[in-house]
Amino acid sequence: MSDTFDNVAEFEIFDPVGYGMMVLDDDKPTAITETARDFLIHYSPSLETPITELPDKLLEWLDESRDLMTDPASIRHIRPYRVERGESRLTVRVKSDVANKQTVLIFLDERPLFTCEQVKTEFKDHYKLTPKESEVLYYVALGNTLPEVATMLGVGEGTVSKYLEKVYPKLAVGDRRL
């Protein structure tokens, strides 16, 4: 894998499509695309430049992810790191070569195309969703899990599930399980 990550210029092709990449050796950045640098500065304003270390919470997540990578059965349980700022959210995924102590972080800045209020208005009129159903749908569409949506709205997971049970038929779709 180390041959793959020797030249950060190869990663610059991802910048125009909104992805940033960073290569780490022993948790220290050795290469970073401009997009990844911009994302880190936006979501971690106290971070000093040039970037020589990662924010503490990102490092904690990275350590937890690496622990899961040691067991092939656990790899599918690795969740992306997410941090929010305003209406946007940074999602970070990890690819790691434990033997070479080299890691690649993939950054994606997710900005909603619509605000929650816009979705509430549009879906109320067009799909006959209640404001709460629209709100639940909005947060699920942003990629939040049921527990995350429940926490955001201050309700139980069962309540979120019930809202989704009512939403799916109105949109003529099944649930999101494969």
Q: Measuring CA to CA, how many Å separate 98 from each of 13, 21, 60, 68, 103? A: 25, 18, 16, 12, 8
State percent of the chain over pLDDT 90: 16
Convert the pLDDT of each residue in 116-137 to its tens digit.
777 777 777 778 888 899 889 8
Q: With a cut of 90, say whether residue 155 has pLDDT above it.
A: yes
Q: With a cut of 70, say whether residue 36 has pLDDT above it.
A: yes
Supply the pTM of this predicted model.
0.58
Domains of the chain (ranges; CATH) run 8-110 (3.30.450.20), 116-175 (1.10.10)
| pLDDT (mean) for 102-124 | 77
Query: What does the alpha-carbon distance between residue 84 and residue 144 come to, in Å, rounded to a whole number?
Result: 12
User: Rounded to the nearest 5 degrees, what angle is found at the Cα of 18, between the Cα atoms of 17 and 20?
Assistant: 115
Binning pLDDT at 50, 70 and 90, where does residue 75 land?
Answer: confident
pLDDT at res. 57: 92
* Residue 23: count of CB within 10 angstroms of its CB: 22
Q: With a cut of 70, say whether residue 12 has pLDDT above it.
A: no
Longest Cα separation, the chain: 55
Cα radius of gyration rounded to whole Å, the chain? 19
| pLDDT (mean) for 109-119 | 71
Residue corresponding to tokens 């434990």: 98
pLDDT at res. 119: 73
Q: Measuring CA to CA, how many Å separate 137 from each of 95, 140, 157, 176? A: 30, 5, 14, 12
140, 164 Cβ separation under 8 angstroms: yes
